[in-house]
């Protein structure tokens, strides 16, 4: 699904990723963990194609294509989804309208039939119920006045409706209480399938108590310094980042 080889990324002329390599197979869930400033969000933004995150060398292939050659819109149409650490508030845009527009925009770009209002209402009600999202929330403007937990649940709802091939979750657990964390984790687990992959970027093990990854990678100073199975997250919780980074050096 995703092959990253020796990736170097600069932000405002400063190199943040310094030779990162990572491979995520179809249907796999990989977790990337690391301290502040290690390059976790830079990785997610570079993969999504955010302006200002310049790939200076290395290779990223998504479904066999050169990801760097695709615009952010093309990446989305091909099934790449990014859930933000800090979802934006967009005044004047009703959440329900945003979700339907996003879904039908992708369907048009793929040459698929659009979803009419009646079918979409059934779809969004079904998906929203599982994430404890009320219809009142869906009638409000996008993320405006939402709590941190509500914003993250709405990101999970977008993911459930768009059904991406590769979902990148940039610290989706940040700022969530226990109940909200469990709801978001349930949403992720409900979408796990043999044809969908996840790249879960997180500081802490607590999300991984609910979403068991196939592989865990430790990111330090712009590189993956160690990879392992789910037990690596537990080791990290016990020993801390510094001890693992020093041992890998």
pLDDT digits (tens, 9 = 90+) for 97-137: 999 999 999 999 999 999 999 999 999 998 888 777 888 88
Instruction: Flag the least confident range among 42-56, 179-193, 208-222.
Output: 179-193
Domains (ranges, CATH) in the chain?
A: 2-92+165-248 (3.40.50.300)
Please say if the pLDDT value at position 248 is more than 60. Answer: no
Q: What is the pTM of this model?
A: 0.86
Among the listed residues 56, 12, 32, 20, the one whose alpha carbon sits nearest the alpha carbon of residue 201: 32
φ/ψ of residue 132, rounded to 5? 60, 40
Question: How many of the other CB atoms lie within 10 Å of CB of 206?
Answer: 15
Judge whether 230 and 216 are in contact, CB under 8 Å: yes
* H or E element that contains 218: strand 215-220
Among the listed residues 19, 24, 25, 23, the one whose alpha carbon sits nearest the alpha carbon of residue 58: 19
Cα dihedral across residues 209, 190, 79, 71: positive or negative = negative
Please give the Cα distance from 40 to 244 (Å, whole number).
17
Judge whether 96 and 139 are in contact, CB under 8 Å: yes
- Edge-to-edge, what's the strand order for the sheet holding 53-62? 14-24, 2-11, 53-62, 65-66
The tens digit of pLDDT for each residue in 19-62 reads 999 999 999 999 998 877 788 889 999 999 888 999 999 999 99
Tell me how long the chain is: 249
């Amino acid at each position: 699904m995703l092959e990253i080889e020796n990736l170097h990324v600069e932000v405002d002329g400063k190199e943040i990723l310094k030779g990162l390599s990572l491979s995520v197979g179809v249907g796999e869930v990989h977790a990337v963990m690391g301290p502040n400033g290690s390059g976790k969000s830079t990785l997610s933004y570079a993969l999504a194609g955010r302006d200002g995150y310049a790939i200076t060398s290395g290779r990223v292939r998504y479904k066999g294509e050169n990801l760097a050659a695709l615009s952010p819109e093309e990446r989305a149409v091909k099934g790449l989804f990014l859930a933000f650490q800090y979802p934006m508030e967009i005044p004047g845009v009703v959440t329900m309208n945003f979700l339907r527009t996003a879904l039908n925009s992708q369907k048009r770009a793929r040459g698929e039939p659009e979803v009419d209002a009646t079918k979409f209402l059934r779809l969004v009600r079904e998906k929203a119920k599982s994430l404890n999202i009320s219809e009142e929330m869906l009638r409000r403007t996008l993320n405006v006045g939402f709590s941190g937990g509500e914003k993250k649940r709405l990101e999970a709802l977008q993911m459930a409706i768009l059904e991406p091939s590769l979902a990148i979750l940039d610290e989706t657990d940040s700022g969530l209480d226990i109940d909200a964390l469990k709801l978001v984790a349930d949403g992720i687990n409900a979408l796990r399938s043999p044809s969908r992959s996840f790249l879960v970027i997180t500081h802490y093990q607590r999300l991984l108590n609910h979403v068991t990854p196939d592989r865990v990678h430790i990111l330090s100073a712009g590189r993956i310094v160690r990879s392992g199975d789910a037990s690596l997250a537990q080791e990290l919780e016990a020993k801390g980042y510094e001890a693992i980074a020093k041992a890998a050096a």
